[in-house]
Amino acid sequence: MSQVSETTVAPTARSTMQISDTNVAIEVIGMHKWYADFHVLRDINLKVMEGERIVIAGPSGSGKSTLIRCINRLEEHQEGQIIVNGTELTADLKRIDEVRREVGMVFQHFNLFPHLTILQNLTLAPIWVRGIPKAEAEATAMHYLERVKIPEQANKFPGQLSGGQQQRVAIARSLCMQPRIMLFDEPTSALDPEMVKEVLEVMISLAEDGMTMLCVTHEMGFARQVANRVIFMDQGQIIEQNEPEAFFSNPQHERTKLFLSQILH
């Protein structure tokens, strides 16, 4: 568990992260999901306002990854409603694509396209999904590569980059679609310890820019600094949620206490 040093976030950062009072980014209502007979998600209710930064924590197998994967329909839910940016996710492919265009996702294992250069990884979707001219897409891609501090890698292939660099490229790739919501599925879990920080810094700067973020992560330092809400899940349900300060200093549920005692040492 690596801790991000407190100095990486400017003291004023938190106050600049505006959370909308009226605009709902994601709304999950009474959602259930089964893998065959296994009930993985049970009665999930969650409302995320624009600009919120939510960290989802919980033991492995608690359904936290499955939950955020439902939000861009990488997984299908069987009961209840998921409404993203006002669009309800159903089997309708058009709606699914509509939602996916506005929701970026960063995976544990980066999932860059190994046969394409970094620049091609970044421009593929903007060109073919958004219909942006190639030159413009490349300019945007370079902008985001600079933002994640690796513009010099643009013409390399993913296999030539370190894990931390690959994950930053993956974040830049999502940003190139100019999403309104970003989902992070354990983005630092597959990284060597010395590379965790560089990825977290990018995520923090995203948060400072007011991006709506849902992060499944074990980086409790990140949760403390950036999240405005921490959600604790176990056995497919939301057990507890609170502001980070209260969540860490004064957990209510027994499971939360147990979990925190196991990871914070």
- Report the interface residues with another protein, using CB under 8 A: 72, 74, 97, 100-101, 103-105, 107, 109, 111-116, 124-125, 128-129, 157-160, 170, 173-174, 177
Task: Select 103 or 200, whichever has its Cβ closest to another protein.
Answer: 103
Task: Select 183 or 230, whichever has its Cβ closest to another protein.
Answer: 183
Characterize the bridge pairing of strands 229-234 and 53-57. parallel
Task: Select 156 or 218, whichever has its Cβ closest to another protein.
Answer: 156
Q: How far is the CB of 51 from another protein (least distance, A)?
A: 21
Nearest to residue 24, comparing CAs of 48, 53, 54? 48
Q: How far is the CB of 124 from another protein (least distance, A)?
A: 6
DSSP 199-218: HHHHHHHHHHTT-EEEEE-S
Task: Select 110 or 259, whichever has its Cβ closest to another protein.
Answer: 110
Q: How far is the CB of 158 from another protein (least distance, A)?
A: 8
Which sign, positive or negative, has the C-alpha torsion 71, 123, 171, 209?
negative
Tell how far CA 114 is from the center of its chain: 22
Q: Tokens representing 137?
A: 């897409």
Angstrom distance (rounded) from CA 68 to CA 55: 11
Q: How far is the CB of 110 from another protein (least distance, A)?
A: 8
Q: How far is the CB of 151 from another protein (least distance, A)?
A: 21
Find the angle CA(48)-CA(58)-CA(63) to the nearest 5 degrees. Answer: 70
Q: Tokens representing 80?
A: 């209840």
Task: Select 62 or 166, whichever has its Cβ closest to another protein.
Answer: 166
